[in-house]
Amino acid sequence: MRRLTLILALTLISLPLLGGEIYVVNTKGDADVIVYVTNKRIDADLEVYRTQTAMYSRYRDDWWTFVNYKLSSTIKVYFTTIEIDADVVIIYTSNSWRSGWIGPRNKFRGKFSR
């Protein structure tokens, strides 16, 4: 129990230090954030714009760069197929000006950027 508490505390402390680079993991236990992707904007917490330039995503929660490496600076994301399991519900957008947080404040606001 102590070990789990320590791991959880370290994870919560380190989240603000993470950059905007997203690494997809295969299990929930390895994830910093569990994400569900929706097709309806009304159901989403965050509208995400995918970018290939990590420099842009470092300072914005809503611009994500997917990477193939796992460092301490990358955010480990698990994509779930069950919405109720998710920490954050996202929808992808092709318009960078439209991306951003939607609706009520989410506990992960400010955690995807430096």
pLDDT band per the 50, 70, 90 thresholds, residue 1: low
pLDDT value for 16: 42
Of the candidates 51, 33, 44, 57, which has an alpha carbon nearest to the alpha carbon of residue 91?
Answer: 44
The least confident of 18-22, 38-42, 85-89 is: 18-22
d(CA 58, CA 60): 6
Check residue 22 and give its pLDDT.
92
Q: How far apart are CA 64 and CA 48, in angstroms?
A: 7
pLDDT at 5: 55
From the list 11, 18, 8, the residue with the least C-alpha distance to 112 is 18
110: left (phi over 0), alpha (psi -120 to 50) or beta: left
- The structural domains of the chain, with segments of one domain joined by +, span 2-101
Q: Pick 1 or 49 by higher pLDDT.
A: 49
Categorize the per-residue pLDDT at 10 as very low, low, confident or very high, splitting at 50, 70 and 90: very low
Sign of CA dihedral 102, 105, 106, 110: positive
